[in-house]
């Protein structure tokens, strides 16, 4: 899908982002949670993937000192496997490097092998496990970390 544009998310995208979230997760974030991220959380930065003027995916990160914690990444189920998640993660990694972040971390379900492969393509490595992390079914999460070098390296 070549005609996907990645851009910074604004509060005007919250309605559509919430729809992607609801289609993607067993316990989705609420519209209010995303609005709070946009308007009140100075550490939060989100990007959206737009196709035909519609938000079809998003990724978010919290910047904490010199590290980033990826909060969530999702693509509409019917559009998965077309490289949109890859484009979103590439944009996020470029942003993190531009801000001088030295690393990125995230949690991923032990069963979500597809996501793990995506993260590993970007240099993320498994660094631990959180037992019973997911509230919907008590599934464990792997903790992934990626060290980021500067653009000049």
C-alpha span between 82 and 87 (Å, rounded): 10
The number of residues in the chain equals 153
Which one of 67, 107, 134, 139 is the catalytic residue? Answer: 107
Which one of 16, 21, 37, 119 is the catalytic residue? Answer: 119
Which residue, among 35, 60, 56, 38, has the nearest Cα to 47 in the 3D structure?
60
DSSP letter at 42 equals T
Q: Which long-range contacts (CB under 8 A, 24 or more apart) does 34-42 make?
A: 35/11, 37/71, 38/9, 38/10, 38/11, 38/14, 39/11
Q: Does 107 qualify as catalytic in the annotation?
A: yes
Q: Does 119 qualify as catalytic in the annotation?
A: yes
Identify the bridge partners of residue 72 per DSSP, sorted by sequence position: 60
Q: Known catalytic residues?
A: 107, 119
């Amino acid at each position: 899908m070549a005609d996907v544009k990645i851009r910074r998310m604004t509060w005007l995208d919250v309605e559509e982002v919430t729809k992607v979230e609801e289609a993607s997760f067993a316990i989705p974030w609420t519209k209010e949670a995303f609005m709070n991220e946009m308007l009140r959380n100075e550490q939060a930065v989100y990007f959206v993937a737009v196709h035909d003027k519609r938000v079809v995916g998003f990724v978010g990160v919290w910047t904490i000192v010199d590290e980033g914690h990826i909060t969530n990444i999702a693509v509409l189920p019917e559009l998965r496997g077309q490289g949109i998640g890859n484009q979103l993660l590439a944009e996020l990694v470029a942003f993190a490097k531009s801000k001088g972040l030295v690393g990125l971390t995230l949690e991923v379900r032990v069963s979500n092998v597809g996501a793990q492969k995506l993260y590993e393509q970007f240099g993320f490595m498994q660094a631990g496990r959180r037992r019973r992390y997911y509230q919907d079914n008590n599934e464990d999460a792997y903790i992934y970390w990626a060290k980021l070098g500067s653009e000049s390296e």
